[in-house]
Structure 1
């Protein structure tokens, strides 16, 4: 079954006002997008829908208006400036609902994705991805960019040659995410969190210095499970240390479950043909009802600031949009639903050399709430853990003031009393 496409074939597949869906991160097909840009004058009002774009492009910066434009569901370094300049649109969402949202607000014209080479049975693998596109395998036309560097992985991300409109080939090394430096504050926060993690717990853990520090401290734990939206290098270290085997999980026992992976080549080598790793659609992995089935789920995420009610603004910085909600709200809710779930939202207590407190009476004007006061469980800084669930507003304020930087505690207490939060 020959389905190799040339440039004319690809452009011929795209109708006027088409909605093209592109996966997250390394699912982004560079060569196919190059073709669309070079031939953009042949396109009419075509929209690209994507989370976490990797590369800044002319259609993102508004240079192909009327032909090709970008709709973002999570900002990245490639799209942040364009959004702030009004060149692209940003659609609010929670990650697990993105497939349903795309089904309802787009015409699902075409999905373009990177894939591993076809196996002897006629199946490609979406590799580092399942995310919001695997939901549509068999229902929406796919054009694949086959790349020998994309690892072959398992789960809900297998697509047969009979299910695609065609493919091109482009062997390009995957983008890698460098591990950030871990500082003293990160280590202190990580120690507070790891002291609350028990053998047999299942982890959802993101990327960054604090998550990396947490994973570095868990190597002596045993029977940990992984149920996370994003796989990172730290999970490889936990598996190799014998800390992760998934035997105590309540769902997908023995399996490492994720919806996408982003890290170094070491991570990509680890997931290649690894039957212990399953990539499943985000509508499954991030659904709070599914998360809650992991009765001992531990969710670890980050935020930029918290007010004295416990509201977490995690997608804006200084009142301006920086990213989006992603999966934080999904896992905060899922951890609350779970029988023995625990949620941790972590941050340094200050920014700009201890001159600005991240714990505030009120969020910075323009900031938006990512995790609500009703879903938040524990807030962690380098000064300790404030356990907020089930606490009154006054108790919450006192707990948060207790983990603020000492230089700001008196002022925060004064403001809380003046505003009637603490009497």
Structure 2
């Protein structure tokens, strides 16, 4: 069948989407900018659905409004709207390591309907998942149906995120700007100090995994003068453009695809999306390749930078829960912390401010409260960085860890932390 004819046959109106979903069938969509929100909203109109589950992750928009007996929403990493819905008991949260999501979804679903936003079809009949590859690309061969939103605003990227028209069950065209990450125009003094500390742990020729936020942006400002850096990460942040433009990045040490930046998804500004569009220096891979496996663990000089909410004297890191509110999930932090531990020359860095709520709460704590999730274990932790310095915990005893963490806590809490450490027998 010629491509144009197949395109016409599979191009449907959004109202027809319900025809491709059966009662009891699971539905999976991708994260951030690739989330098929127009298709998801149509689920609210599908009266025949019952006992269906929708799996989503890091949604940028309101949770769909459906009877949970019809469609139960399960998040795998809470975004702002999902956080509110989870707290209200309206959705579920599925614990996971990001690298394990493809296998996890294959294990707990059967013939799922896969939904995603893609770039327009090329002359060879391929759509691109654009900003994404993540877990969704791995599920296409196992799907009962593949239903897409074709959007001209989605950048076309290269890698293992291509979908041929022959693999597609149906699609709609819906051309609207894709979600953008909030602009980080201001870096606080704390961000800059922490960025400088972390940059001091990086050297020419390193492989970097750096995420999203004001601290990672500050770090990238401090390494623009470095040379022969390789970017292998799970998420491509906007500031990476500056590293390319400064000549800091060559990607020569990337064993996944030599000479290319590799990642599993991207999220940021329109400038980032334009940078990614048809950029042959970027190669997208599924998360069960980027975050785990022989190639990742075979890297040398890997520096991973992630964020924490709090850390205790043992070195246990909570990066998921703020007070009594479940804020996010594990994501890829544990994946990359493990990789940094096992590779030659690896350095795993967890960044956090020393305090919260106008310096009234210390984020260096004697012990995590009951019910607090441990994102990075004491055995995988390496460097902890606050605005007051760098604590190397790997290879340190409990007493040595306790002293090092107190030294990078806010000065107003150090006496109390020292007292608590003595009570606990750590000092």
TM over 0.5: yes
Superposition TM-score tier, normalisation by shorter sequence: over 0.9
Distance 1:325 1:294 in 2: 23
Q: 1:98 aligns with which of 92, 95, 101?
A: 101
Q: 2:134 aligns with which of 128, 131, 135?
A: 131
| Secondary structure class of the residue paired with 2:95 | coil
Structure 2 partner of 1:361: 366
Q: 2:49 aligns with which of 43, 68, 71?
A: 43
Q: 2:353 aligns with which of 348, 356, 361?
A: 348
Tell me the C-alpha RMSD between the 2 structures: 1.2
Scaled by the length of structure 2, the TM-score of the pair is: 0.96
**1:288 Cα deviation (Å)?**
5.4
Matched, 1:64 2:67: yes
| Secondary structure class of the residue paired with 1:396 | helix
Matched, 1:3 2:6: no
| Secondary structure class of the residue paired with 1:238 | helix
Indicate if the aligned counterparts of 2:15 and 2:42 stay in contact, CA closer than 8 A.
no
Distance 1:108 1:378 in 2: 43
Indicate if the aligned counterparts of 1:40 and 1:68 stay in contact, CA closer than 8 A.
no
Structure 1 gaps, min length 5: none
**1:7 Cα deviation (Å)?**
4.2
Bigger mean CA offset, 325-334 vs 76-85? 76-85
Structure 1 partner of 2:323: 318
Counterpart mapping for 1:16-31 below 5 A: 16-31=23-38
- Summarize the Cα distance change of 1:421–1:108 in structure 2 as closer, same or farther, 3 Å threshold: farther
**Per-residue displacement from partner, 1:236-291 (whole Å, max 9, x unpaired)?**
11001111111133442111001000000000000100111011000000115432
**1:8 Cα deviation (Å)?**
5.4
**Per-residue displacement from partner, 1:76-127 (whole Å, max 9, x unpaired)?**
1111111111111101000000000000011242101100000000000000
Matched, 1:157 2:199: no
Indicate if the aligned counterparts of 2:106 and 2:142 stay in contact, CA closer than 8 A.
no
| Secondary structure class of the residue paired with 2:154 | coil
Q: 1:73 aligns with which of 71, 76, 79?
A: 76
Structure 1 partner of 2:58: 52
Counterpart mapping for 1:328-339 below 5 A: 328-339=333-344
- Summarize the Cα distance change of 1:196–1:7 in structure 2 as closer, same or farther, 3 Å threshold: closer
Distance 1:17 1:373 in 2: 41
Distance 2:14 2:206 in 1: 50
Distance 1:390 1:108 in 2: 46
Structure 2 gaps, min length 5: 1-5
Matched, 1:216 2:221: yes
Scaled by the length of structure 1, the TM-score of the pair is: 0.96
Bigger mean CA offset, 385-394 vs 3-12? 3-12
Structure 1 partner of 2:400: 395
Q: 2:390 aligns with which of 371, 380, 385?
A: 385
Indicate if the aligned counterparts of 2:232 and 2:254 stay in contact, CA closer than 8 A.
no
The count of residues paired between Structure 1 and Structure 2 equals: 418
Q: 2:376 aligns with which of 371, 380, 385?
A: 371
**Per-residue displacement from partner, 1:121-172 (whole Å, max 9, x unpaired)?**
0000000000111012333231110000000000000010001101110001
Indicate if the aligned counterparts of 1:201 and 1:223 stay in contact, CA closer than 8 A.
yes
